[in-house]
């Protein structure tokens, strides 16, 4: 038998953090060697970090990436490793995977299919490498192969599909397999989205089955650059069978998942396939090398069971860190979206805090759903991180105070502030206090009513009249929200903490948020998720919670309320849905109008079919209201603090959903809709 041990290395990198990125790469290589890995795949652009943006164009960045590559070489004396970096060649920049072995550069493979939609902007920086083209590039006085290459490592042929290459219809793998590829490596930087893991798993399995190869997939891990979060997917498959799969959403800086692949079995599978056609024409893209991949003796195995990684480590010099860490099989349950949301948000918050050098968080806790969700996510972050890393490591990485017997981690991590005005109710006050106590946060109360009334009095005096709710409703609401901003900013400054904004995506869609009020913050973690799901998740957190962690029964104080901004006098019985429309409907209109690009008339018809409980008269108010508010409030979305990307319904104008700040406001389309509704009503009456 010809057996090799292959590995998928997952790294939590940071753009342009040269020394840290290098350290994690070298540590992953060392860890792979302890698992007897002979061929290791590391993620796409792992030397520079994936999210360098326009810094990729800097000559200095390109040169430093090559310097770091040279520093990696000595660590590859007895292992073959692929690493990613940008490479300049003949006037263009390419996203490449570099194969290293025996301390040498073996060659560079250029990415053929660039991700240019949604979050991704690769065509802005890179050029696609042409299919089946090989060239030479001179570095340090030596020529190295560059192109769409296949490496013959002493009889074992290794090729690449780099991230997006595996998502397209005409995958490069088909051509590589026609020339005898035994192993395909897929170094990736594939951002998280709900249920996306299942899509990756399908193309890994389908690629290994259809191509009759061993397939190694290695993704980035963590909140790399601010908005995108990577789940750290690592998968190894052979001929349609999944051999190993690493843990997702790890708080470790790196881990390696390994499996033994029988190359002879791969070749037998291909020989049996009647559909396989080999490439008989001459090709110059196969690079024959005397360097080989270390083969395992027949008597030796290196198991790497599904879900549980072969090893997870933070510091490979510590033998205890080389022990396998058992992970809870939370992905097998019925609440995958709730579990994914909990874990991706926890990891995103953790990395954002430590990489921005923030000492914990401050949240303006209103007693409503949104701020409660943000606070619980912070606590969940602490619990999950401590469960994997230990409290001392978490405190060190987040620069928190030394643990004492009197204060919990969450008390040092999270400060919640309830800021009352005369329009605040005892219900929300009690809810805020109960949730804060349940999660162990530091809880403060500040009465800002005197400050609000001072503003109202001074402005009224300046304009020569008394302000009233009948005439100045929006102004009187907003001043309360804005008055809460300076206090929480001040607390964040005092603590050196990160202030978290609490607006959700549904509010962003229609501008139901006060700029410099509830939008205050350096990060807006839930701005990428809709209100309907948040309310559902809070009910789930009250009763169930993530598997192996906890629930928060005190959320019943939140979940029994109707969502309200609580900015008008209590006698007005203000609720969000009375101001806007039912959130379930709002979210459905948003998906149809913004994600699916439906016209107002198409949205109206679709909502009429989806929500028969609402009358034509109600929908004729709510659908136009959505479009008008959407258009008027693009400027607010432009000003939101960075948010996490969670799905293809994101409204972030800087990375996903672009819309003009000034527009015609769908005026013609809405007139046509109203005319059509009037004609329909007249026909009914006649």
> DSSP per residue over 511-579, as a string?
T-S-TTTTT-SSB-TTTTS-HHHHHHHHHHHHHT-STTS---GGGHHHHTSPP----S-GGG---HHHH
Q: Which among 347, 306, 314 is positioned nearest to 191, based on CA atoms? A: 347
Render pLDDT for 574-583 as a digit per residue (tens, 0 to 9): 999 999 999 9
Please give the helix or strand (H or E) that residue 472 lies within, else none. Answer: helix 469-495
Render pLDDT for 412-439 as a digit per residue (tens, 0 to 9): 999 999 999 999 999 999 999 999 999 9
Instruction: Output the average pLDDT for the chain.
Output: 92
pLDDT reading at 302 higher than 70: no
Q: According to the model, what pLDDT value does residue 317 have?
A: 40
**CA–CA dist 357, 532 (Å, integer):** 33
pLDDT reading at 313 higher than 60: no
pLDDT reading at 328 higher than 70: no
Q: Please identify which residue in the block is written with the tokens 């304009």.
A: 463
Q: Angle 488-493-498 (CA atoms, 0-180°, nearest 5)? A: 75
Other beta carbons less than 10 A from residue 28's beta carbon: 30
Which of 220-234, 297-311, 352-366 shows the lowest mean pLDDT across its residues?
297-311
pLDDT reading at 316 higher than 90: no
Contact predicate 136/146, CB 8 Å: yes
Q: Could you tell me where the beta strands, DSSP code E, fall in 298-454?
A: 311-313, 361-364, 414-420, 442-447
What are the respective helix, strand and coil percentages of the chain, to the nearest 5? 45, 20, 40
**385 CA to centre of own chain:** 17
- Tokens representing residue 180 in the block: 């005898």
Would you call 681 helix, strand, or coil by DSSP?
helix
Percent of the chain with pLDDT over 90: 86
Would you call 287 helix, strand, or coil by DSSP?
strand
- Mean pLDDT along residues 387-405: 86
How sure is the predictor about 292, in pLDDT bands with cuts at 50, 70 and 90?
confident
- Tokens representing residue 296 in the block: 């395992």
- Tokens representing residue 283 in the block: 């090709």
Which of 53-62, 189-198, 271-280 shows the lowest mean pLDDT across its residues?
271-280
Q: What is the DSSP code (8-state) at residue 53? A: G
Long-range contacts of 666-669 (CB under 8 A, 24+ apart): 666/600, 666/627, 666/628, 666/631, 669/599, 669/600, 669/601, 669/627
pLDDT reading at 315 higher than 60: no
Q: 255-293 b/e with 16+ CB inside 10 Å = b?
A: bbbbbbbbbebbeebbeeeeeeeeeeeeeebbbebebbb
**CA–CA dist 118, 115 (Å, integer):** 9
pLDDT reading at 322 higher than 50: no
Domains and CATH numbers, the chain: 3-326 (3.60.110.10), 336-580 (3.40.50.620), 583-686 (1.10.10)
Q: According to the model, what pLDDT value does residue 306 have?
A: 40
Other beta carbons less than 10 A from residue 621's beta carbon: 11
**279 CA to centre of own chain:** 40
Render pLDDT for 492-534 as a digit per residue (tens, 0 to 9): 999 999 999 999 999 999 999 999 999 999 999 999 999 999 9
pLDDT reading at 214 higher than 80: yes
Q: Compute CA distances 53 → 46, 47, 82, 129, 653, whole Å.
A: 14, 14, 22, 19, 16
Q: What region does 103 belong to: left with phi over 0, alpha with psi -120 to 50, or beta?
A: left
**CA–CA dist 539, 338 (Å, integer):** 11
The sheet carrying 498-500 orders its strands as 442-447, 414-420, 361-364, 498-500
Backbone torsions φ then ψ of 300, nearest 5 degrees: -110, 135
Q: According to the model, what pLDDT value does residue 323 have?
A: 31
SS (H, E, C) 93-138: EEEEEEEEECCEEEEEEECCCCCCCCCCCHHHHCCCCCCCCEEEEE
**CA–CA dist 325, 601 (Å, integer):** 54
Q: Compute CA distances 146 → 97, 104, 149, 160, whole Å.
A: 10, 15, 7, 13
Can you spell out the DSSP letters for 416-440? EEEEE-TT--HHHHHHHHHHHHHHT
Q: Helix crossing, 600-610 with 616-632: angle to 10°?
A: 130
**CA–CA dist 37, 25 (Å, integer):** 15
Render pLDDT for 330-343 as a digit per residue (tens, 0 to 9): 988 889 999 999 99
Contact predicate 146/137, CB 8 Å: yes
Q: According to the model, what pLDDT value does residue 300 have?
A: 59
Render pLDDT for 532-580 as a digit per residue (tens, 0 to 9): 999 999 999 999 999 988 899 999 999 999 999 999 999 999 999 999 9
Render pLDDT for 608-636 as a digit per residue (tens, 0 to 9): 999 999 999 999 999 999 999 999 999 99
**CA–CA dist 165, 150 (Å, integer):** 15
**CA–CA dist 518, 370 (Å, integer):** 10
């Amino acid at each position: 038998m010809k057996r090799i041990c292959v590995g998928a290395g997952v790294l939590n990198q940071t753009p342009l953090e040269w020394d840290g990125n290098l350290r994690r790469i070298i540590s992953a290589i060392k860890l792979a060697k302890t698992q007897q890995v002979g061929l290791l795949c590391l993620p796409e652009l792992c030397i520079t970090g994936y999210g360098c943006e326009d810094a990729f164009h800097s000559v200095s960045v390109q040169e430093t990436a090559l310097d770091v590559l040279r520093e990696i070489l000595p660590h590859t004396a007895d292992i073959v490793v692929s690493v990613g970096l940008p490479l300049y060649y003949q006037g263009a920049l390419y996203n490449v995977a570099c194969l290293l072995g025996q301390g040498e550069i073996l060659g560079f493979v250029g990415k053929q299919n660039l991700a240019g939609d949604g979050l991704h902007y690769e065509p802005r920086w890179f050029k696609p490498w042409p299919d089946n083209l090989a060239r030479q590039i001179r570095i340090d006085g030596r020529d190295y192969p560059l192109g769409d290459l296949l490496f013959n490592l002493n009889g074992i042929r290794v090729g690449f599909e780099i991230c997006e290459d595996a998502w397209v219809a005409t995958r490069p793998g088909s051509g590589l397999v026609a020339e005898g590829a035994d192993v395909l490596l897929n170094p990736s930087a594939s951002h998280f989205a709900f249920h996306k893991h299942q899509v990756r798993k399908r193309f890994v399995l389908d690629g290994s089955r259809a191509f009759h190869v061993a397939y190694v997939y290695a993704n980035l891990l963590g909140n790399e650059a601010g908005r995108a979060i990577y789940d750290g997917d690592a998968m190894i498959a052979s001929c349609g069978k999944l051999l190993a799969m690493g843990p997702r959403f790890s708080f470790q800086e790196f881990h390696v998942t390994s499996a033994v692949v029988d190359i002879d079995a791969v070749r037998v599978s291909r020989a049996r396939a009647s559909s396989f056609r080999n490439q008989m024409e001459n090709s110059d893209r196969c690079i024959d090398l005397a360097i080989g991949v270390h083969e395992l003796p027949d008597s030796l195995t290196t198991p790497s069971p599904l879900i549980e990684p072969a090893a997870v480590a933070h510091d490979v010099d510590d033998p205890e860190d080389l022990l396998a860490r058992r992970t809870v099989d939370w992905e097998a349950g019925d609440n995958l979206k709730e579990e994914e949301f909990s874990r991706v948000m926890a990891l995103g918050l953790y990395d954002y805090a430590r990489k921005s050098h923030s000492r914990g968080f401050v949240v303006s806790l209103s007693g409503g759903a949104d701020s409660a969700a943000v606070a619980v996510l912070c606590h969940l972050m602490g619990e999950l991180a401590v469960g994997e890393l230990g409290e001392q490591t978490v405190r060190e990485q987040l620069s928190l105070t030394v643990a004492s017997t009197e204060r919990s981690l969450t008390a040092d991590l999270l400060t919640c502030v309830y800021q009352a005005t005369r329009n605040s109710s005892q219900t929300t006050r009690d809810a805020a206090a109960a949730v804060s106590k349940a999660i162990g946060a530091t809880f403060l109360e500040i009465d800002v009513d005197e400050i609000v009334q001072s503003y109202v009095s001074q402005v009224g005096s300046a304009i020569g009249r008394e302000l009233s709710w009948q005439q100045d409703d929006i102004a009187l609401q907003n001043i309360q929200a804005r008055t809460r901003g300076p206090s929480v900013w001040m607390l964040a400054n005092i603590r050196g903490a990160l202030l978290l904004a609490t607006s959700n995506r549904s509010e962003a869609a229609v501008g139901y948020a006060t700029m410099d009020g509830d939008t205050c913050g350096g990060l807006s973690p839930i701005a990428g998720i809709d209100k309907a799901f948040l309310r559902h998740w809070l009910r789930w957190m009250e009763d169930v919670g993530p598997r192996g962690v906890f629930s928060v029964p005190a959320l019943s104080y939140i979940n029994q309320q109707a969502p309200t901004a609580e900015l008008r006098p209590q006698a007005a019985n203000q609720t969000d849905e009375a101001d806007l429309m039912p959130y379930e409907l709002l979210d459905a209109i948003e998906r149809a109008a913004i994600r699916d690009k439906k016209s107002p008339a198409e949205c109206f018809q679709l909502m009429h079919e989806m929500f028969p409980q609402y009358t034509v008269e109600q929908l004729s108010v709510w659908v136009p209201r959505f479009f008008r508010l959407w258009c008027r409030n693009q400027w607010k979305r432009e000003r939101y603090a960075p948010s996490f990307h969670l799905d293809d319904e994101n409204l972030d104008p800087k990375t996903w959903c672009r819309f003009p700040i000034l527009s015609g406001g769908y005026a013609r389309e809405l007139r046509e809709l109203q005319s059509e509704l009037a004609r329909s009503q007249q026909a009914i009456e006649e």
